[in-house]
Amino acid sequence: MKIISVVNQKGGCGKTITAVNLAAALGQGGKRVLLIDLDPQSHATFSVLRETPRVTITDLLEAASTNRSFPEGNLTVELAPNFHLLPASLGLASLEHTLTSRDDKLKIVEKFLLSAGLDFDYLLIDCPPNLGLLTLNALVASEYALIPLMTCDFSLQGTQILKNILLMIKEFKGSAPAPFYLLNQVDQRSRYVKQFLQKTRQQMGNLLLSSRIRTNVHLKEASANGCDVFRFKPDSRGAEDFRSLAKEMQRITGEVSWTPLFLKKQNLEEVYVVGDFNDWQKEDSYKLKKIGPDLWSINLSLEKGTYRYKFLAENKWIPDPHNALSENDSFGGRNSLLQIH
């Protein structure tokens, strides 16, 4: 089961529309998909469900956190063939407050997912528009983070905060979800947007998805009518874009694993990663992207195995300071280790 958090601490970026319609598109493509609404505001729930749900994610997380049994019967609501929902409720806000004093406060969602016996190909989590405890729980449990961005400079500036959160999760857990960015509500007629797209691609490289969600009123109308765009307007531009996104996400989440690497260090001009996976060669395709004044990042696509690696910056070898796994090298230094399962 591939677990993807749809996350952005900024509201109004199309996060919920992305989560709902990507889930629906994957379901239409034959994948069994569960959408979990983890936002106390319940926007994803309200946009696709009109009746009062029997069970919510709040009920299940409370049960998982207190080691109680889950309710009998189906835990999810079937919205369409292959597309299920685990609804939210306002009780998530009080649950978040309750968890703050617990030692395992970042692992409650992960604990629920491990014990619930869910049988899906994809699990998408629509996170709250903040970087609070619920969002952190989702990221700890996820393999991928899908980050919708508006076509404006403020969106790019906000990515640094989220990258620091992913770095914190890697240090906490030993791994972090691989981040991928999605440009949302794109008006390709605008000269500014065209320039923004070019600048963003140069800055983010393969962290930025090729798919883009163009401005399309049918996406908002579908939400207002309580359904995804495929049930509302299947021949619309919005439906076309989400079909494209679903295909790209299926390629990304295939057999190869994505591993994000980070380096937080000031006063560097260029940073590369070299290791067993590229014969220890300095190559442009392994050049980290600078996504903040002192923060560098890259997503590595690796098959299962163990790999030795280092960073190369200013003609100096730098072991990964955010990875506790390492071994001595033959030159008296240290190699960092990646173990891909």
**Residue 81: CB atoms within 10 Å:** 10
Q: Which residue has the higher pLDDT, 122 or 302?
A: 122
The mean predicted confidence, pLDDT, of the chain is: 91
Q: What is the mean pLDDT of residues 274-293?
A: 92
Q: Please determine, for residue 122, whether its predicted confidence score (pLDDT) is greater than 90.
A: yes
Q: Which residue type sits at 237?
A: R
Domain extents in the chain: 2-252, 257-340
Comparing CA positions, the residue from 188, 24, 58, 44 lying closest to residue 128 is 44
Q: Please determine, for residue 207, whether its predicted confidence score (pLDDT) is greater than 90.
A: no
Query: Does residue 125 contact residue 39 with C-beta atoms inside 8 Å?
Result: no
By mean pLDDT, which of 82-86, 156-160, 171-175, 232-236 is the weakest?
156-160
Dist. CA 34–CA 57, nearest whole Å:
12
Which residues lie below 8 Å from residue 159, measured CB to CB, with a gap of 6+?
A: 147, 149, 181, 291, 292
Query: Does residue 147 contact residue 184 with C-beta atoms inside 8 Å?
Result: no
Q: What is the mean pLDDT of residues 110-136?
A: 94
Q: What is the mean pLDDT of residues 274-291?
A: 93
Q: What is the mean pLDDT of residues 166-177?
A: 89
Query: Does residue 230 contact residue 22 with C-beta atoms inside 8 Å?
Result: no
Fold annotation for 257-340: Immunoglobulin-like (2.60.40)
For domain 2-252, the CATH superfamily is P-loop containing nucleotide triphosphate hydrolases (3.40.50.300)
By mean pLDDT, which of 172-176, 270-274, 282-286, 290-294 is the weakest?
290-294
pLDDT of residue 64: 92
Query: Does residue 134 contact residue 110 with C-beta atoms inside 8 Å?
Result: no
Q: What is the mean pLDDT of residues 40-48?
A: 94
Q: How confident is the model at residue 183 (pLDDT cuts 50, 70, 90)?
A: very high
Comparing CA positions, the residue from 256, 19, 236, 18 lying closest to residue 124 is 19
The residue assigned the tokens 């997503």 is 299
Query: Does residue 16 contact residue 70 with C-beta atoms inside 8 Å?
Result: no
pLDDT tens sequence across 223-238: 999 999 999 999 999 9
Q: How confident is the model at residue 155 (pLDDT cuts 50, 70, 90)?
A: confident
